[in-house]
Amino acid sequence: MTSQTAIVSELLCALPDADPQIREAAGVQLLRALDLVEIERGAQTTIAYTASVDAGHVEDLDAWAARVLGPEAVQ
């Protein structure tokens, strides 16, 4: 176990009441921040995000501002 993974393990042990899904999500983010996850999983995330954009499920900041704040907010 590297020092980075030991730190991640300790941080996750500090969340004993959290659901396993929350611990897993937090752990993945910590491992990504430490650059310790496989590139393949990162690629899967990129592919999923791209698919979301292509399907119209993601909007840019200008589109969000126009929808929420009104068209006058985007100039």
pLDDT means per 10 residues in the chain (75 residues)? Answer: 72 74 75 68 69 78 84 78
Looking at the structure, tell me whether residues 50 and 31 fall in a common domain: no
The span from the CA of 51 to the CA of 60, in Å, is: 15
What is the structure's pLDDT at 23?
A: 73
d(CA 38, CA 26): 16
Its pTM stands at: 0.36
A 10 A CB-CB count for 8 gives 21
Q: Report the alpha-carbon distance of residue 4 to residue 36 in Å, rounded.
A: 9
Q: Are residues 47 and 68 in the same domain?
A: yes
Number of domains into which the chain is organized: 2
Predicted local distance difference test score (pLDDT) of residue 43: 65
| Domain region containing 6 | 1-37
pLDDT at 38: 63
Same domain, 47 and 63: yes
pLDDT score at 6: 76
Q: Is 48 found in the same domain as 23?
A: no
- Is the four-CA dihedral 71, 67, 57, 38 of positive or negative sign? positive
In a shared domain, residues 29 and 49:
no
In angstroms, the CA 35 to CA 75 distance is 38
Kindly state whether residues 61 and 47 are assigned to the same domain.
yes
Same domain, 16 and 29: yes
